[in-house]
A and B are shown apart, each in its own frame.
Chain A
Amino acid sequence: MAERRVPVVSCVVLGLVLLCAVAGPWFAPHEASEIALAESMTPPFWRSGGSLDYPLGTDMLGRDILSRIIAGARVSVTVAVYAIALSGGIGAALGISAGYFGGIVDAVISRLIDIQMSIPAIPLAMLFAAVLPPGEGMVITIIVLTYWTWYARIVRGEVLSLRERDFITVAKVAGVSSPMILIRHLTPNVLNTLLVLATLQFGSVIVFEAGLSFLGLGIQPPQVSWGGMLADGRNFIEVAWWLITMPGLAIMASCLASNLLGDWLRDTFDPKRRIT
């Protein structure tokens, strides 16, 4: 099947996003916040009035859209890396504990998951946005609070079935301590699942962060974010279409790439779930 090929395009897109995040300032054509009022509202280069100095055009203050998208990648990737590491780490730790120890530990953690999942994510985000000071820290906190259940639930299910397998029983009989079993025997077996979940989460974190920043509740100016660019562009939707299309394309491309790569990884690790 065609889908069994390594998703080269997805890898290239994600690689580009990561490259922009790490080394963006070195190759971006302009400073992200460099104002050039004389060049204000320049269209992309292929339109009349556009120029290759500003390949994707400029905004109302004459700032270069391409450079701002490159700068926005840094914020998106930073938020995503922290949010995924924390929600994955916390969720996996709780999920493994719940699945392995069972009993009261499982009951408490499962109830927590139930409660968290019965409250829709966005209103909860509003609540924390009203309480915490805005910025990267707040966005990461909100995402971690929303997504840990995702990891916890799936990892718990996996551990429940792993626990009954012979190699765990043998380890127990051989007198291996619980922490040792958790770290040496269970964790490596759920790593594949964690990797798939993390890849898939990358896309949704980017969308989530963009939504918050678009509302003005996430990343605050002068820090550049794709969501914030969309919010700025929205006011000029009648005169400058590129202000809302370009950052949106960046969001879409990164999200699409991470979803495709995640699906591919999942199918590779778990051939039973291949969709026909």
Chain B
Amino acid sequence: MRAYLIRRLWQGAVAVLGALLIVFVAQRLAGDPVALLLPMDASAEDFAAMREALGLDRPLPVQFVVFLRDALTGDFGESYQWQAPAMPLLLERLPATLELALAGLAFALLLAVPLGVMSAVYRGRWVDRLAKVLALLGQAMPGFWVGLLLILFLAVRLQWLPAFGREGPLHLVLPAVALGWYPVAAMTRTLRSSMLDILDSDYIRTGRVMGLPERTVIWRYALRNAAVPLATMIGVYFANMLGGAFVIEVVFAWPGVGRAVVDAVFARDFPVVQAGVVLSAVIFVVVNLLVDLSYGLIDPRIRHG
């Protein structure tokens, strides 16, 4: 277990380091930040002074080490737009993004678990076909378009739910559906196929022969084991929702990390963009690590030796 943990932590660290390297290279490709910071009529001396102040006159490897040192303390420089440190600006918005991601995941599971189980139990019947059609549509309809349609029908036409902003639990519904829409397809299919395997297995047959109610066999015994492959997907999709709800946040004017990063891209506010990419990578790595480690809890057979 310990060796496994160390290996996974090491892999995670390499991934974050890779992300930092990509961010650093991209920053150098972006051109001279001094030109953005100084007024148009600044003199050559002003440029040199600014460059020295920012450490841009030093060799690239040195700059990278300095960048890494700062990054480890969460220092990605000051936002050009807000004149405040970039990372805290984003961390302030993390609760909104986390809330949306959790709601999106909840929606996806609420739809995928019953649908996946039922389509395995009633294989080939109408539930199964419905699940199949939903899965096809889920993959072909981009989440942000689903979001626009939801706004059109439920907010504009029927006026049932609010479309923009974050003012209460009702405001969460439409963005959560739009965000949770995409993973439903894959989750349903995965759960269906693992359920099909397990419903064929000996212990389920034993349970039935012993006269356990069908409901108990399916929802208590079969689902528990069939949920293991689903758990991996939950981790990956949750990490993606946390670190990638950019378009959905923009569609619903949700005040989260993603929208702040998109705004920053438009403003060429590089420190915020960098902080956003690194934050996403760290979240992605950490969530995946936690999911891997939690297998042992769901399924005692998987204990990493």
A residues contacting B by CB (< 8 A) are: 111, 114-116, 118-124, 126-131, 203, 207, 210-211, 214-217, 230, 233-234, 237-238, 241, 244-245, 248, 251-253, 255-256, 259-260, 275-276
Closest 8 CB pairs of A and B: A115-B18, A118-B15, A256-B140, A123-B280, A255-B140, A122-B244, A248-B145, A120-B243
A119 with B284: CB separation less than 8 A: yes
Give A87 Cβ to nearest chain B Cβ, in Å.
17
A203 with B284: CB separation less than 8 A: no
Please name all residues of chain B whose beta carbon is closer than 8 Å to the beta carbon of A217 when the two chains form the complex. Answer: 262, 265-266
Please name all residues of chain B whose beta carbon is closer than 8 Å to the beta carbon of A126 when the two chains form the complex. Answer: 246, 261-262, 265, 273, 276-277
Give B82 Cβ to nearest chain A Cβ, in Å.
16
A127 with B139: CB separation less than 8 A: no
A215 with B244: CB separation less than 8 A: no
Give A127 Cβ to nearest chain B Cβ, in Å.
5
B136 with A124: CB separation less than 8 A: no
A256 with B136: CB separation less than 8 A: yes
A130 with B264: CB separation less than 8 A: yes
B136 with A259: CB separation less than 8 A: yes
A248 with B148: CB separation less than 8 A: yes
- Asked if A114 meets B14 with Cβ closer than 8 Å, knowing A130-B268, A131-B30, A203-B139, the reply is yes
Bound CA–CA A174/B164 (angstroms): 69
B residues contacting A by CB (< 8 A) are: 11-12, 14-15, 18-19, 22-23, 26-27, 29-30, 136-137, 139-142, 144-145, 148-149, 151-152, 156, 193, 196, 239-240, 243-244, 246-247, 250-251, 261-262, 264-266, 268, 270, 273-274, 276-277, 280-281, 284-285, 288
How many A-B residue contacts, CB cutoff 8 Å? 139
Pick from B149, B152, B270: contact of A130, CB under 8 Å: B270
- Asked if A255 meets B139 with Cβ closer than 8 Å, knowing A120-B284, A230-B148, the reply is yes
Give A68 Cβ to nearest chain B Cβ, in Å.
16
Bound CA–CA A275/B144 (angstroms): 30
The DSSP consensus for interface residues of chain B is helix
20 other A-B residue contacts (CB within 8 Å) besides A115-B19, A252-B140, A255-B140: A111-B14, A115-B15, A115-B18, A118-B11, A118-B284, A119-B19, A122-B243, A122-B280, A123-B281, A124-B22, A126-B261, A130-B30, A131-B29, A234-B251, A244-B145, A251-B145, A252-B145, A255-B139, A255-B142, A256-B140
A207 with B148: CB separation less than 8 A: no
Please name all residues of chain B whose beta carbon is closer than 8 Å to the beta carbon of A244 when the two chains form the complex. Answer: 145, 148-149, 152
| Of A203, A207, A253, most B-chain CB atoms within 10 Å | A207
- Asked if A119 meets B273 with Cβ closer than 8 Å, knowing A127-B22, A237-B152, A248-B148, the reply is no
Pick from B14, B244, B250, B266: contact of A123, CB under 8 Å: B244
B277 with A237: CB separation less than 8 A: no
* Interchain Cβ contacts under 8 Å between A and B, 15 examples: A111-B14, A114-B14, A118-B281, A118-B284, A119-B22, A119-B284, A120-B244, A120-B284, A128-B26, A131-B29, A203-B139, A234-B148, A244-B152, A248-B149, A276-B196
The DSSP consensus for interface residues of chain A is helix
A215 with B273: CB separation less than 8 A: no
| Of A116, A130, A275, most B-chain CB atoms within 10 Å | A130
Please name all residues of chain B whose beta carbon is closer than 8 Å to the beta carbon of A230 when the two chains form the complex. Answer: 144-145, 148
